[in-house]
Amino acid sequence: MKRTLTVMFLVFILAAVTFAQTGVKKRRPLPFEYGRVVINNYSEKAGLAPVVFDHWLHRAKYTCRLCHVDIGFAMKSGATAIKASDNISGYYCGACHNKKPGPDGKKVFESCSTTVPPEEKTRCLRCHFLGKNVKPEYDFVNFTERFPKGRFGNGIDWEKAEAEGLVKPIDFLEGVSIKRQSLAVQKDFSLSPKLEGMPDIIFSHKKHTVWSGCELCHPEIFIGVQKGTTKYSMIEIFSGKYCGVCHTSVAFPLTDCQRCHTKAVQ
Ligand code: HEC
Ligand code: HEC
Ligand code: HEC
Ligand code: HEC
Ligand code: HEC
Ligand code: HEC
């Protein structure tokens, strides 16, 4: 009974936290919208539509680490403050969107430019398209058709998609990444939710390292010197800290309780 109440309380907190952040009860994003970031620090002021960045497409091609460590995007919407001039110089989006061949050998369309010949107008619209009626080249439904399904988020089980070789995110970008010696991967461990009857969480260092390297979590999110050093609770996770940094907006969301609280209760 006590446990059911606590769980209900947490579900309530989840709703309340979402509410507090936006002032309205957020509708659950549609699968293709999950992980979408709208970037609009400068675009509208410059007379262009805001930029739309979709994680589902990019994470199928590259690791989180490549973008968030090597290229240096902040893990917070708008926080990188990307400028057209940065992209033109080959930073941020311009690290890949530079007419050089991408992972499948096809030239990746260029990002911003200062002068726009008429035949290039549609190129701007491939990124600056919020609120415009443009048909993207990559259609979510087609692109993800063969991927194993998941219950929440993008509606895709990304982990399985990778295990089955349907996505092979690359972790190295010529001219940007540096060859490093990889660190020994830590053992998987279980985290106790410190609440009787609540299933333990099995945390896989091995799996997370494939996507995130070490640097995405240590030391910014978890100090990571010794297990148990970082103290946090489910409420903090719901408010977007710790595991919630990724598991509220890009990796499968917190509504999927059992995907973390997996270990059988003894
Ligand atoms: C191709 C590059 C790229 C890849 C790959 C990528 N991201 Fe991102 N990510 C971005 C950009 C760009 C932003 C927005 C930054 C900004 O607006 O300043 C972002 C933002 C985020 C945010 C903040 C979202 C929000 O709504 O505030 C999180 C969390 C995040 N990424 C996690 C991940 C995770 C986890 C992965 C791997 C599964 C990943 N990213 C893969 C480029 C990437
Ligand atoms: C690590 C490399 C990389 C980075 C960084 C990157 N992209 Fe991409 N992006 C790609 C590749 C590769 C494609 C597929 C291009 C193709 O096949 O034409 C793509 C496709 C896209 C598309 C799809 C267009 C369509 O018509 O379907 C959009 C939109 C996009 N990127 C926006 C962005 C934005 C905005 C940024 C920066 C915030 C960014 N990308 C950063 C590699 C990257
Ligand atoms: C690969 C994606 C991408 C493409 C393609 C793209 N841009 Fe951008 N552009 C961005 C991003 C990201 C920003 C930062 C958005 C923001 O904060 O408002 C940006 C910002 C801008 C700005 C805002 C002012 C400034 O100094 O930063 C201008 C102007 C601009 N782009 C022009 C263009 C033009 C013109 C084209 C077409 C020739 C174009 N961009 C194509 C990604 C792109
Ligand atoms: C997705 C996030 C994430 C990634 C990626 C990650 N870790 Fe961790 N790591 C954790 C968490 C969570 C803990 C436990 C922290 C706590 O309880 O304070 C931890 C703990 C540790 C510890 C202490 C272990 C112990 O038993 O006391 C070490 C050492 C460590 N990590 C090293 C690494 C290394 C090396 C890598 C890359 C190969 C890595 N981590 C990648 C999240 C991560
Ligand atoms: C840096 C981003 C990041 C952080 C922080 C993070 N995760 Fe994840 N996690 C991911 C990504 C990416 C996946 C792949 C599945 C997906 O995207 O839906 C994943 C998958 C998982 C899975 C399924 C794979 C497996 O191990 O069986 C579990 C469980 C999980 N995370 C638990 C946690 C827990 C618990 C924490 C906090 C201690 C945490 N994660 C922190 C990014 C992150
Ligand atoms: C991304 C992984 C993840 C997901 C998804 C998740 N949890 Fe947790 N949860 C954790 C971790 C990690 C802890 C342990 C925190 C600690 O070290 O005390 C925890 C702790 C808890 C606790 C113990 C009390 C507390 O406040 O720390 C409860 C109860 C709980 N979670 C309920 C839920 C419910 C209900 C859901 C679904 C709505 C959920 N969790 C989804 C990772 C997750």
Closest Cα to atom 40, ligand 1: which residue? 64
CB-ligand 6 contact for 250 (6 Å cutoff): no
Cα separations in angstroms, 180 against 70, 171, 177, 185, 217: 11, 11, 9, 14, 17
Alpha carbon distance 197, 46 (integer Å): 55
- Which residue has the least CA distance to atom 3 on ligand 6? 260
Let me know if 166 is exposed, middle or buried by CB neighbors in 10 A (0-12, 13-18, 19+): middle
Cβ(239) to ligand 4 under 6 A? no
Residue nearest to atom 41 of ligand 5 (CA): 243
CA of 66 to the centre of ligand 2 (A): 14
The per-residue pLDDT for 182 is 75
Q: Are 254 and 236 a contacting pair, CB within 8 Å? A: no
- Measuring from atom 1 of ligand 1, which residue has the nearest CA? 58
Ligand (nearest to CA of 83): 3
In the reported structure, the alpha carbon of residue 261 is separated from the centroid of ligand 3 by a whole-number distance in angstroms of: 42
Whole-number pLDDT of residue 195: 84
pLDDT at 19: 57
| Contact present, 242 and 232 (Cβ < 8 Å) | yes
CA distance 258 to 179: 37
Return the pLDDT at 22: 53
pLDDT along the chain (266 residues), means of 10: 62 62 71 97 97 98 96 96 98 97 94 90 95 95 97 96 95 89 84 86 92 92 87 94 96 94 75
Q: Are 165 and 63 in contact (CB under 8 A)?
A: no
Q: Please report the sign of the dihedral spanned by the C-alpha atoms of residue 261, residue 37, residue 68, residue 220.
A: negative
Is ligand 6 within 6 A of the CB of residue 221? no
The vertex-252 CA angle with 250 and 254, nearest 5°, equals: 105
CB 87 within 8 A of CB 94: yes
Q: Using the mean position of ligand 4's atoms as its centre, give its distance from the Cα of residue 247 in Å.
A: 16
Q: How many CB atoms lie within 10 A of CB 45?
A: 8
Encoded tokens for 134: 């443009």
- Which tokens is 100 given? 């050089």
Ligand 5 atom closest to 252 (CA): 18
**pLDDT reported for residue 141:** 97
